[in-house]
Chains A and B, each alone.
Chain A
Amino acid sequence: MSQLQYFLALVAGGLSAAAFALSFATPLEQGLLLKAFLGLGFLSLIRFYVPLGLWADGAFALLGAVALLTSVGVFDPTPSFFWIALVVAWLFAWLFVERLSKTLAPRLSDNGGLGLLIPVVFGAALLVIWEVVTRGANIPPVLLPAPSMIAAQLVNSTPILWADFVQTFIKSVLPGYAIGCLSGLIVAILVDRSPFLKAGLLPIGNFMSALPIIGIAPIMVMWFGFDWQSKAAVVVAMTFFPMLVNTVAGLNASSIIERDLMRTYAAGYWQTLMKLRLPAAGPFIFNALKINSTLALIGAIVAEFFGTPVVGMGFRISTGVGRLAIDLVWAEIAVAAVAGSAFYGVIALIERGVTFWHPSVRGGRA
């Protein structure tokens, strides 16, 4: 038992005891499960005589979460022991994750999916705290809706969310991303061939990549109209420069000795490019693709804050606040987060397949 675990166990047990004592001020039948949880938490102090397994802490945390969620709103006003119970449940979850990660540390790569449990427990704990605090403290939903409200809105507004997703992701992000990345790659190869472009264009490219490209959104609306074309144009502008700068750097990644080897095989420029330099630039190119996957989504959403048709994620997020449809705004944010993560994940998976030779993917295995 490390010092941290010792401390967590002690505080969790002690606070349980205190909250358990305080809970007798309310009628016994109110929030019975919560009181049972606090009693068990008090009993967990027995671990200092009889060792408790880490799954016991996991069970405590789960029981605490269920007890809190079922008894939120039962008490009016929410008593202090309820908030202490929330802290206790959080401490048990922390203790569980702490012990689990210690156990898994020696076998980090193949632990049969147990490693996934750590972020899941952490995320679930955050959601439970959010839910319990917003409902327990009666926070007005227009300031911060509870996750359950957002989930209900996700289910009820599926057609709206789907239409917004198609408008923003399928029509603006994907074409813009494809055009931006492809043109960045082609221009990078041109730059690599010509010393003039290298000296002239690359500094400008570096300069442009530092500009807040999103500022051109209103201009793009002037040029391409207010529908998805102007948003895709913003995405092109945002994704082009990271790709250019990364690819140019990547094309110089192969060592002189490897290029000399190609020369001794009498390989021409294009053969060297295709067989040596582009594959060697793979990690750089995929780095740009991954950066761009998130940039493209952000760019398209923010570009929709200016002159849009009345559909799209950015439109909904910016105008939903004015209509006080805050739960819809959060649902839209959830969709955007999932879409962005999935997009990034797909690119990362392709990268693992393509640059299998790279040490970062091999995991150090020869």
Chain B
Amino acid sequence: MKKYIGGLLVSALALSAAPAFAADALTLQLKWVTQAQFAGYLVAESKGFYDEENLDVTILPGGPNVAPEQVIAGGGADIIVTWMAAGMAARESGVPLVNIAQPFKRSGLMMICPVENEIKTVKDFPGHTLGVWFFGNEYPFFAWMNKEGIATDGSAGGVTVLQQSFDIQPMIQGQADCISVMTYNEYGQALDAGYGPENLTIFNYTEMGNDLLEDGLYVLEDSLKDAAKVDAYTRFVRASMKGWAYAAEHPDEAAQIVVDMDDTGAATLEHQLYMTGEVAKLVDPADAKLDMATYERTVKALLDQSIIKAEPEGAYTTVVTDGL
């Protein structure tokens, strides 16, 4: 009996002490399906970098019908990966998102046109059909067209916009004269399909200076009032950047990790390897800070196009990246 009570006491003590040792649980909602675009987070999870920081991270894959902004508003995630334009638009719609880190320094967005469509410069666009992704990915395109003064509402002298599927089919089937691609994903599909710089006209958003900030990490504003949360975010970003650095140094292993972590079985090693290499060109593993010049340009483009109506206040914070 004494033993029994002793055992109870020990287990009660263990239980009461458990929270002190428990890892902080964080849920990350990705912007898209499990792929090398998120290699840093997947590698950090797989290699135990999060565990080293005493974090218990759950990574939720996204997809064509998942709006990360809605997931976080509904309490389904603590941190989301999203593009700044979509994040700012959500902020105005009443989801107070704040950028805490910006691993992606450059945009991977391009528009490609097969040369037979005789489009050499932006001036040749009017009268053609352009494929654009929607669901929060349409802002950079409309900001670009707005800057060039090309109408997108189907009026004469403007362009016809097609809601493009998330592949290169519209170009192959000739439904669109130009389509949107990401350097690290659909452009690879185009290369596989026999397209390349020699038979494509390529408009690269970054080179044109029309890039809007892409994959950043966003949290809800209220959670930043909690010092413990901010500390957890800081550890999360630190481990994630370690993951990005590891993925840049070991692309083969990173691609394999991505394939292993994809539950859908859609990811192929060859494509993920290509993506790992391309994403590495956009991410700076040594620096998670938000670049203010690109931030200002992103905000200005959104204001010019009245995607957002007012200059955002407190839409980013350095409190997390300062603590790295």
Contacts and interface: CB of A to CB of B under 8 A. Distances in A.
A322 B67 contact: yes
B90 interface: yes
A222 B89 contact: no
Contacts of A322: 67, 86, 134-137
B175 A225 contact: yes
Interface stretch (B119-127, B158-166, B240-248, B270-278): B158-166
B232 interface: no
Interface in A132-188: 140-143
Interface stretch (B34-42, B68-76, B282-290, B316-324): B68-76
Interface in B239-258: none
Given A322-B135, A324-B89, A307 B70 contact: no
A272 to B, nearest CB: 49
A125 B305 CA distance: 41
A321 B74 CA distance: 13
Contacts of A311: 154
Secondary structure of the B contact surface, majority rule:
loop
A270 B11 CA distance: 90
A143 B73 contact: yes
Interface residues of A, number: 24
A307 B170 CA distance: 8
A242 to B, nearest CB: 28
Contacts of A308: 162-163
Given A225-B175, A226-B175, A321 B134 contact: no
B89 to A, nearest CB: 6
Contacts, number: 81
Interface string B76-109: 0000000000100110011100000000000000
Given A306-B165, A307-B164, A324-B67, A143 B93 contact: no
A319 interface: yes
A318 interface: yes
Nearest to A309: B162
B84 to A, nearest CB: 14
B173 interface: yes
B161 A141 contact: no
A315 interface: yes
A306 B64 CA distance: 11
A354 interface: no
Contacts of B93: 141-142, 324-326
A143 B69 contact: no
A318 B135 contact: yes
A65 B89 CA distance: 34
A126 interface: no
A142 B220 CA distance: 14
Nearest to A223: B173
12 contacts: A142-B73, A142-B94, A143-B70, A221-B175, A226-B163, A307-B162, A309-B162, A310-B162, A318-B134, A318-B135, A322-B136, A323-B89
Given A142-B73, A310-B134, A326-B93, 15 more contacts: A140-B74, A142-B70, A142-B90, A142-B93, A226-B163, A308-B162, A308-B163, A309-B160, A309-B161, A309-B163, A310-B132, A319-B138, A322-B136, A322-B137, A324-B93
Interface of B: 65, 67, 69-70, 73-74, 86, 89-90, 93-95, 132, 134-138, 152, 154, 160-165, 169-170, 173, 175
Interface of A: 140-143, 218, 221-222, 225-226, 306-311, 315, 318-319, 321-326
